[in-house]
A = this chain, B = another copy of it.
Amino acid sequence: MRVEVVAVGTELLLGQIADTNSQWLGEQLAANGIASHYHQHVGDNHERMVQVFRTALARSDALIVCGGLGPTQDDITRAALAEVMNVDLVRDEAIVTVIESMFSSRSRTMPQNNLLQADVPHGASIISQRRGTAPGLICPLGNKVIYAAPGVPYEMTEMFERAILPDLLERERAAGNSSVIKSRVLKTWGASESGLAEALGERFDELGEHGAMTIAFLASGIEGIKVRLTARGSDDAHALELLASEELIARRIITEKLGDIIFATDEDTMEDAVATRLSEAGLSLALAESLTGGLISSRLVNVVGASTWYRGAVVSYSSQVKYDLLSVPEGPVVSIEAAVAMASGVRRALGADVGLSVTGVAGPDPQDGHEPGTVFVGLDIRGVTEHASLRLPGDRPRVRAYSAISALDVLRRALDRSL
């Protein structure tokens, strides 16, 4: 079964609010092995809504329409559905009663336009409301179906889980499809998307685009490149089994060809990877940040429980602070020597086991004879120091963001070696 998501609302087209419903529904459908090949956004315009619904019905088996079920004049999804179904809107007295009692229970008088929400296309069945006033609809069209839910995520998600998904799965079973999809994301840092694609190219071709296992590459900007493995199995166990064996293969190929570039899985981040290693080793961390200006620190404190291993940071944006607080020797502050001195200095100043530092040139102008994008990372683990030199692309914010995750990756690799 192919399910298409249609988000209704002029505010979506004008970019005044983000459409989080399509992403959420896409994730839910995929997790349940239901194919979704298209999403559409359309405004609160009768003709265009009708046209979008017809376009979607021509290429999909089911539509999930979000939005336009409210009580105001521009909530016209019900009328558009009635036209596509070629039926009339009928006022449902049961819904009238529910809405009236909802208002009276909150001892508020009901504005008359709320009754619009009781108008139902003839032949549609109703998804009762539990979190708002507008009920959802299940509109049959021959062997196809349109589900309509409110645009408010809090209301839509509840209706999807309670009524829409069960109905979809029942239709899948009736159609003899009951496969389950599971996916895993391997997060990498240090390789290009094309480099990964080349490393996994052979495996990519072996699996093909429509097999039980597929591989995809997601460039996620400053967070590196993600490799997504997706398995389609007869049930959860089967899909997870396929996924587990493919993950072993992918990890082996990537590590053999590109080294230790996989830093996390699924929702984990680079800071989680560092946090896990520090906690396990019982090591505390202090940072000395120059061009990154606190960016690395602000990432680390998002890890729950960071206070058990994170001491804090000195953001030595001016050279004087490097000399005074971090006892960096007077002289150029964009150098390997300065980076190492900053790491050792902050480790002592904050009484930590590990000191990590970053100094460099964010740009736009060169500094100490170095071009923008020149970055030095210093590391001091209980007195044992090392350093890394980087050349990073982009404008100021970009150079900073790359520097932050690069420095954390230097720490991750060093901890793996030293532990």
Determine the main DSSP class of A at the interface with B.
mixed
CB-CB < 8 A to A260: which residues of B?
A: none
Closest Cβ–Cβ distance, residue A227 to chain B (whole Å): 11
Is A197 part of the binding interface, using a Cβ–Cβ cutoff of 8 Å?
Answer: yes
A297 interface residue, CB < 8 Å from B?
yes
**Of A9-17, A135-143, A165-173, A235-243, the one touching chain B:** A9-17
User: CA A286 – CA B12 in complex, angstroms?
Assistant: 38
Q: How far is the CA of A228 from the CA of B11 in the complex (A)?
A: 9
Indicate if A281 sits at the interface (CB-CB under 8 A).
no
The 6 closest A-B pairs by CB, nearest first: A294-B294, A15-B27, A293-B301, A294-B297, A15-B26, A39-B41
**Of all chain B residues, which has the CB nearest A99?**
B194
Contacts of A117-148 to chain B: CB distance below 8 A: 131
- Kindly list chain B residues whose C-beta atoms are within 8 Å of the C-beta of A289: 294
Q: Which residues of A contact B (CB under 8 A)?
A: 10-20, 22-28, 30, 36-45, 48, 51-52, 55, 59, 70-74, 106-108, 110-114, 131, 151-154, 183, 185, 192-198, 201, 204-205, 209, 216-221, 228, 230, 287, 289, 291-298, 300-302, 304, 306-307, 310-318, 320-321, 324-325, 349-351, 362, 364, 391, 393-394, 396-398, 400
Expressed in whole angstroms, the Cα–Cα distance for A15 and B27 within the complex equals 4
B residues near A218, Cβ cutoff 8 Å: 11, 16-17
Q: How far is the CA of A193 from the CA of B132 in the complex (A)?
A: 12
A108 to B217: give the CA distance in the assembly, Å.
20
Shortest CB distance A182–B (Å): 12
A73 to B214, CA, bound (A): 12
Residue of A11, A22, A108, A312 with most chain B CB atoms under a 10 A cut-off: A312
On whether the beta carbons of A38 and B27 are closer than 8 Å, the reply is: no
Given A197-B111, A350-B325 in contact, is the A45-B40 Cβ separation under 8 Å? no
Given contacts A16-B228, A154-B221, 18 further A-B contacts (CB under 8 A): A13-B26, A14-B183, A15-B23, A16-B185, A16-B218, A18-B18, A38-B41, A40-B40, A70-B217, A72-B197, A73-B204, A111-B192, A111-B197, A152-B221, A289-B294, A294-B313, A313-B317, A325-B350
Question: Chain B CB within 10 Å — which of A195, A204, A307 has the most?
Answer: A195
Q: How far is the CB of A27 from chain B (nearest CB, A)?
A: 3
Task: Give CA–CA (A394, B52) in the complex, Å.
Answer: 33
Q: Which residues of B contact A220 (CB under 8 A)?
A: 17
Closest chain B CB from A195 CB (angstroms): 5
Name which residue of chain B comes closest to A185, CB basis. Answer: B16
Distance A216 CA – B37 CA, assembled complex (angstroms): 31
CB contacts (< 8 Å) of A314 on chain B: these are 312-315, 325
Contact of A296 among B107, B196, B294 (CB under 8 A): B294
23 contacts between A and B (CB under 8 A): A11-B228, A13-B36, A13-B39, A14-B26, A14-B36, A14-B183, A16-B183, A17-B23, A51-B59, A73-B197, A106-B393, A108-B192, A292-B298, A294-B301, A297-B315, A301-B317, A301-B362, A302-B396, A306-B317, A311-B318, A311-B321, A324-B351, A325-B349
